[in-house]
């Protein structure tokens, strides 16, 4: 399998963790989002949305959208399972995922940042405040939901890693990178630290990606 990825991409980070947890080998192909590689004709033929991740499966199939990829991997490689058994619990895990995937992440991606800067003249310092605002609102909700769900569990939903951890960890990592204080999210931070003790998470972090720049 080939994963089109970028060191800073939170969506690709989720997929890297999933592939490792499911024991799948993959080659990483860098798509430099800051240089605009995602708009090349070659990349658009893989993903007409001009976004990573894109997962090229053996054969002709190309999968895009990180949640679709996570669910596909879960169905194809059910062990270790990243979803609880009970439908109600699966729905809760997916709802945690979507806070990060659907409600925080899309507001802070390069295309949105560059649009508000170019079209509305938003200065760099206000961009940080934009990112921080949406991240804090999302992490605040995640903190409340984890506390409601996990009964002092090690991870976001009990003592077993679930898809929720794959979505929350990159978001917390990004908050750290943007120097957003995390004191108000002690449970989420504890879950992040517990996940980072697992090699599949630790080895998927941006800092160890082949395209991680020297000057960051």
Ligand X SMILES: N[C@@H](CCC(=O)N[C@@H](CS)C(=O)NCC(=O)O)C(=O)O
Distance, C-alpha 154 to centroid of its chain = 19
* Whether 20 contacts 200, CB under 8 Å: yes
Q: Can you give the length of the chain in residues?
A: 216
Q: Does 162 bind ligand X (CB under 6 A)?
A: no
Of the candidates 28, 90, 107, 110, which one interacts with ligand X according to CB under 6 A? 110
Q: Does 167 bind ligand X (CB under 6 A)?
A: no
Quote the CA–CA distance of 62 and 178 in Å, as a whole number: 32
Q: Which is nearer to ligand X, 65 or 145 (CB)?
A: 65
Q: Least CB distance from residue 64 to ligand X, whole Å?
A: 6
Count CB-CB contacts under 10 A for residue 110. 15
Q: Does 51 bind ligand X (CB under 6 A)?
A: yes
Q: Does 52 bind ligand X (CB under 6 A)?
A: yes
Q: Does 175 bind ligand X (CB under 6 A)?
A: no
Neighbouring residues of 65: CB distance < 8 A, sequence distance ≥ 6: none
Q: Does 38 bind ligand X (CB under 6 A)?
A: yes
* Whether 141 contacts 61, CB under 8 Å: no
Of the candidates 57, 98, 107, 109, which one interacts with ligand X according to CB under 6 A? 109
Of the candidates 3, 17, 18, 33, which one interacts with ligand X according to CB under 6 A? 33
Q: Does 104 bind ligand X (CB under 6 A)?
A: no
3-state class of 158 per DSSP? Answer: strand
Alpha helices (runs of H) in the chain, residue ranges in sequence order: 10-21, 41-46, 66-76, 87-98, 110-120, 124-150, 163-177, 186-196, 199-202
Of the candidates 3, 10, 29, 96, which one interacts with ligand X according to CB under 6 A? 10
Of the candidates 5, 65, 188, 194, which one interacts with ligand X according to CB under 6 A? 65
Q: Does 66 bind ligand X (CB under 6 A)?
A: yes
Residues that bind ligand X (CB under 6 A): 9-11, 33, 38, 50-53, 65-67, 101, 109-111
């Amino acid at each position: 399998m080939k994963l089109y990825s970028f060191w800073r991409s939170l969506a690709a980070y989720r997929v890297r963790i999933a592939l490792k947890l499911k024991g799948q080998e993959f080659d990483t192909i860098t798509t430099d989002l800051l240089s605009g590689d995602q708009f090349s004709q070659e990349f658009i033929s893989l993903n007409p949305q001009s976004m990573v991740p894109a997962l090229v499966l053996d054969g002709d199939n190309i999968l895009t959208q990180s949640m679709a990829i996570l669910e596909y991997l879960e169905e194809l490689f059910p062990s270790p399972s990243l979803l609880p058994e009970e439908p109600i619990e699966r729905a809760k895990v997916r709802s945690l995922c979507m806070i990060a995937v659907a409600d925080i992440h899309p507001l802070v991606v390069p295309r949105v940042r560059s649009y508000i800067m170019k079209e509305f003249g938003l200065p760099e310092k206000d961009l940080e405040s934009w990112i921080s605002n949406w991240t804090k609102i999302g992490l605040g909700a995640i903190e409340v939901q984890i506390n409601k769900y996990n009964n002092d569990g090690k991870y976001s939903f009990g003592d077993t890693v679930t898809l929720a951890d794959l979505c929350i960890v990159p978001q917390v990592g990004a908050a750290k990178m943007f120097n957003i204080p995390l004191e108000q999210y002690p449970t989420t931070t504890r879950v992040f630290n517990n996940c980072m003790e697992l090699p599949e998470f630790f080895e998927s972090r941006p800092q160890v990606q082949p395209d991680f720049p020297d000057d960051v």
